[in-house]
Chain A
Amino acid sequence: MKILKKQKEKFQLKIPSKTDNLELIRTMIAHIAKTVGFDEDDVNKIELAVDEACANVIKHAYYKDTKDSIDLIVEIDYKKLTVIITDQGIGFDVKNILNRDIKNYLAQMKVGGLGIHLMKALMDEVEFKSKPGIKTEVKMVKYFVKDGKVENRVEK
C-alpha cells in the first residue's frame, strides 16, 4: 500500500523532562522509523538526533530534571519523517548556537554543545525557533532516500 500524497500519520508523546526517559524516547522513535521503512543506518541516525534534542531540553531548557514536559510529535507523510520537539524552558539564542565552529569548540576541550552539531549532521533539515521562557521548538526532517534520490514511501 502506498501512502497517498495528502495522507499523514501523526504520533504524539508528552513525557516528563527527565534523563531516565531518554531510553523510552529512543525506543519509541526507533520503532516508528523502522516501521515506516527507514533502513537501520537511518533509524540509528534519527534515534540519536532525537536523543540529542531531548537531552538538550532536559539539561538546558529546564536546567535539570523537573516536573515539566517535553512534547514530541512525529509526523510521517509519503516522503519524509518529521520530528517536532517542544519545551517551555528558558530558550536560547538560535544564531549563536548555529554559528558555532565545532572544530574550535573541540580544540578548546569545552564540554557540551555537541548535540546540536550532531543533530545537523544526522538529519536532512534542522530548524530552531525560540521564544525564551515561552516556547522553544526544534523541528527535524529525514527524507526517505534511496540511491541519493528522495523516494516515496512504500508500506512494508
Chain B
Amino acid sequence: MDSFEVTKREQGNINILNIKGYLDAHTAPQLEEEIQKLVDDGKYHILVNFSELAYISSAGLGVFMGFIENIRNNNGDIKLSNMNPKIYRVFDLLGFPELYDIVENEQDAIDKFNN
C-alpha cells in the first residue's frame, strides 16, 4: 500500500522534500530514511513541502524532532512550507511554530535560507 511518498529536488544548496499522502507511525520511517540520507551527505539545508500531505500524526512530527538539533548544530535548518490548516493545527497544538520555521510557501523558505 503506497499511502506515503517522498520526492526529492535540489534548488541551489537547498534540498526540497515533497511529501504526499499519509504520514503516521507506519510511514514515518520512510521520511526518516530520506532525511538521514541528506544528513549523511552533509546536506543540512532542508525544506519540506507539505502541499500534498493529507494527514499527519505525532510520529511524523517526531521525525523532525529527531534531526533538528544535529542539523542546526551544522548551521543548517529544516524549514516547513505549504501546510493546509488541518496539518498546521497538529503542529500548532504541539507548540512547533515557536521552535520551527513554518512558512507559507517554498519561496519564503528559500529566501530565509539565503538571508
| B22 interface residue per 8 A CB criterion | yes
Query: What separation, in Å, do the CA atoms of A48 and B26 have in the docked complex?
Result: 14
Q: Does B62 lie within 8 Å of A55, measured CB to CB?
A: no
Complex Cα spacing A110 to B69, Å: 10
Q: Are B86 and A111 in contact (CB under 8 A)?
A: no
In the assembled complex, the Cα of A122 lies from the Cα of B93 at a distance in Å of: 9
Assess the A107–B99 pair: CB atoms within 8 A.
Answer: yes
Residues from chain B with a CB closer than 8 A to the CB of A16 are: none
Contact B65 A110 (CB under 8 A): yes
A residues 34-51 with Cβ under 8 Å of B? Answer: 44, 48, 51
Are B68 and A109 within 8 A (Cβ)? Answer: yes
**Residues of chain A within 8 A of B57, CB atoms compared:** 22, 48, 51-52, 55, 115, 118
What is the predominant secondary structure among interface residues of chain A facing chain B? Answer: helix
Known: A20-B1, A106-B95, A106-B96. A118 touches B58 (CB 8 A): yes
Cross-chain contact of A19 among B26, B55, B99 (Cβ < 8 A):
B26
Given the contacts A44-B86, A52-B57, A118-B90, A112 and B62 also touching, CB distance less than 8 Å: yes
- CB <8 Å contact, B24 and A55: yes
B3 at the binding interface (Cβ < 8 Å): yes
Contacts of A114 in B (CB 8 A): 58, 61-62, 94
Complex Cα spacing A102 to B95, Å: 8
The residues in A between 97 and 156 inclusive whose CB is less than 8 angstroms from any CB of B are 102-103, 106-107, 109-112, 114-115, 117-118, 121-122
Instruction: With both chains docked as a complex, state the minimum distance between the C-beta of B102 and any C-beta of chain A, in angstroms.
Output: 14
For B110, the chain A residues whose CB sits under 8 A away are none
Chain B residues numbered 45-82 whose CB sits less than 8 Å from any CB in chain A = 55, 57-59, 61-62, 65-66, 68-69
Contact flag A111-B62 (CB < 8 Å), given A23-B1, A106-B99, A118-B90: yes
> Please, which residues of chain A bring their CB within 8 A of the CB of B99?
106-107
Given A55-B58, A107-B99, A109-B65, 6 extra CB contacts under 8 A: A51-B57, A59-B25, A102-B95, A106-B65, A106-B95, A114-B58
| B residues whose Cβ falls under 8 Å from a Cβ of A | 1, 3, 22, 24-26, 55, 57-59, 61-62, 65-66, 68-69, 86, 90, 93-96, 99
Can you give 22 contacting A-B residue pairs, CB < 8 Å? A22-B24, A22-B25, A22-B26, A23-B1, A23-B24, A23-B26, A26-B24, A44-B86, A51-B24, A51-B57, A55-B57, A55-B59, A58-B25, A106-B65, A106-B94, A109-B68, A109-B69, A110-B65, A111-B62, A114-B62, A117-B93, A118-B58
